[in-house]
Structure 1
Amino acid sequence: MKHEYIIGIDGGGSHCRAVLQSSDGKIVGEGVSGASNIMSDPQQALQSIVSACKAAIADANLSLSLSNVVVMAGLAGANIPKAKTYFLSLPMPFKRIHVMSDLHAACFGAHEGASGGLIICGTGSAATCHRDGTFKDIGGYGLSLGDNGSAAWLGLQAVKITLLTMDGVHQESALAKRVVEQLQARTASDVVTITSSYKPSHYGELAPLVTACHEAGCKTATEIIREGARYIHSIIITLNEYYRSFCKTAGDSSVMPVCVVGGLAQTYIPLLPNDIQQSLCAPKTNAQRGAIGYFLQVESAKR
């Protein structure tokens, strides 16, 4: 079936990005909106998706309604079946909507459907390895259970260290001072009260304090950043071990290309061992196009 218009979505913990593709494969419009994690806030996610789609249509200057478009959405939280099922039960304004993990969409786009691995370190963190239509995931369990190395994780670590500093357990640091200033807190109780309702996106907003203090030479911030980099390193090793085990079965000894993407990628990559840095590659295209490409591949396989 030929679809006249398809919207590809990359929905994460902080932003939702949409591209509108016409039947000839051209991107004719783009749009951006807010958070779209369907596990942490499915209602907000749907609002953000609708907003981003409307913005993409407006950008294309088309008199097109949402009921006329097919949406292929790569969304944070879609790796959790219960979250995906509930989200798809919500009333949708689209002609059709299909959902996949934002991680899978990003990986498929990064390698344009070919085999490869991808690590996202944005608001959240997760990794996957793709080969022959199959994905092997690592992480992506949310901030309370993981998301090491993510922006939200950096922010959470900064708050924890700030509280320990205020208690006298840690020495004063530039990072703790910046966190207190950002939160406009005077006491540890203030910090707890202010952050009691925080979502991952809120903690993610504190991550720039960690990276800025790290770049300015704050040892406390640098240790947090280095811990995040060690985690990314361990994930790359794990992905390669999985890939090598698959290759033994398939009789393929090629090296897996890996992309590290997200807002913290350029913070972590320089801290990785040189041999690991040399094995990394840049993504060929984005998650929005990856979502569309995956959708078209699946549709083609059905014919």
Structure 2
Amino acid sequence: MPSSSDINNTYFLGIDGGGSKCKAIIVDADNKVLGEGISGPANPLHGFEQAVNSITESAHIALKASGLNLQLSDLTAGVGLAGVNLPALFEQMSNWQHPFGKMFLATDLLIACLAAHNGDDGAVMITGTGSCGFSYVDGHPYTIGGHGFPHGDKGSGAWFGFQAANYVLMSLDGLKAPSMINEKLLTLLDVQDGLQMVEAIAGKPAAFYAKLANLVFDAAEEGDFAAKAIVEEGACYISGVARQLEKQNPPRISLIGGLTPRIKPWLDEDIKHKLAEPICAPEMGSVIFAQQQLTLL
């Protein structure tokens, strides 16, 4: 088993890899960030070669930024990735002939939770392009949702954007009352009618719809009835996820993700009062995970 001095002499690489980008950090034994790097998508579900290339590229960028006279093989890597909750992808990534000294692989959910609570037990609700609830208590992971767009991810940016598009199309067909969402969405897409709108949105991925989420919140905050109904439904779902996570008795619970500042005011009051600010960013959670695993060897 490595001693504390072994860890103290180690530089760590933390990786947070998702469907849109991969972020890497290099830290010293005191977890001081020495360099950062960002590259392309790193979810192996969307391509193994793309994922490993993004991981390696972001690591090289971070190492260069650190100014350290080291190679990737000198680093102990914690790698948190979307997609590796699927056993086949976890095995594939585990068998990767990586360039690091050591590599410890985890899901993006676990590293986000470890980061939010600085390595201690806790729970997180993630509200970004997608949505998910996750807790880690006494070594037991527990997941709610995270089923993907469009069949899941309620309360996510993609879900809000999709609901907006659906509402506008129905209103243009005369089946719903026109809303402030209509003008905002048609202007954003630079279209005039339903046919043009369908051409603009057909076949678009979750990330496209997530970019429409802010206009729903803007309209809701301006008092629009349709937007408020959509936001309240999504926020109710996230509040429900929080209550389900509470059954796992996490010491802390945090809300994380790009949509956090928009959706937080709409959560149920009892849930808002229980939320704790996340302590670290997800990539630091990968470092924490690697440090924890290193002590177990």
TM over 0.5: yes
TM-score (norm 2): 0.87
Per the alignment, do residues 205 and 235 of structure 1 end up closer, same or farther by CA in structure 2, a change over 3 Å counting? same
Deviation at residue 149 of structure 1 after TM alignment: 0.9
**2:161–2:212: 8 Å Cα contact kept in structure 1?**
yes
| Residue equivalent to 1:188 | 194
Amino acid at match of 1:75: L
Residue 36 (1) aligns with residue 42 (2): yes
| Distance in 2 of aligned mates of 1:40 and 1:207 | 24
Residue 227 (1) aligns with residue 233 (2): yes
1:215-269, CA deviations, whole angstroms, 9 ceiling, x for partnerless residues? 23322222211111101110111111233xxxxxxxxxxx732101112222222
* Partner residue of 2:174 out of 162, 168, 176: 168
Matches within 5 A, 1:216-295: 216-243=222-249, 256-295=251-290
Per the alignment, do residues 188 and 70 of structure 1 end up closer, same or farther by CA in structure 2, a change over 3 Å counting? farther
Residue 200 (1) aligns with residue 206 (2): yes
| Residue equivalent to 1:80 | 86
- Give SS of 1:157's match: helix
**1:149–1:231: 8 Å Cα contact kept in structure 2?**
yes
Amino acid at match of 1:295: A
1:60-97, CA deviations, whole angstroms, 9 ceiling, x for partnerless residues? 13354444434322222222223434455666554554
Deviation at residue 119 of structure 1 after TM alignment: 0.7
* Partner residue of 1:9 out of 15, 19, 22: 15
Gaps spanning 5+ residues in structure 1: where?
244-254
| Residue equivalent to 1:215 | 221
Per the alignment, do residues 219 and 52 of structure 1 end up closer, same or farther by CA in structure 2, a change over 3 Å counting? farther
Per the alignment, do residues 190 and 96 of structure 1 end up closer, same or farther by CA in structure 2, a change over 3 Å counting? farther
* Partner residue of 1:122 out of 128, 131, 136: 128
Residue 177 (1) aligns with residue 172 (2): no
Per the alignment, do residues 104 and 187 of structure 1 end up closer, same or farther by CA in structure 2, a change over 3 Å counting? same
**1:77–1:101: 8 Å Cα contact kept in structure 2?**
yes
- Give SS of 1:268's match: helix
1:24-64, CA deviations, whole angstroms, 9 ceiling, x for partnerless residues? 54321122334433334544444443343233223213354
| Distance in 2 of aligned mates of 1:87 and 1:187 | 46
| Distance in 2 of aligned mates of 1:290 and 1:21 | 12
Q: Give the RMSD, CA atoms, in angstroms.
A: 2.4
- Give SS of 2:174's match: coil
TM-score (norm 1): 0.85
Deviation at residue 194 of structure 1 after TM alignment: 3.0
**2:123–2:254: 8 Å Cα contact kept in structure 1?**
yes
Deviation at residue 182 of structure 1 after TM alignment: 2.2
Amino acid at match of 1:288: E
Deviation at residue 21 of structure 1 after TM alignment: 1.5
Residue 105 (1) aligns with residue 111 (2): yes
Per the alignment, do residues 211 and 53 of structure 1 end up closer, same or farther by CA in structure 2, a change over 3 Å counting? farther
* Partner residue of 1:131 out of 116, 123, 137: 137
- Give SS of 1:160's match: helix
| Distance in 1 of aligned mates of 2:53 and 2:202 | 25
Residue 21 (1) aligns with residue 16 (2): no
Per the alignment, do residues 190 and 295 of structure 1 end up closer, same or farther by CA in structure 2, a change over 3 Å counting? same
Per the alignment, do residues 168 and 258 of structure 1 end up closer, same or farther by CA in structure 2, a change over 3 Å counting? same
| Distance in 1 of aligned mates of 2:11 and 2:182 | 49
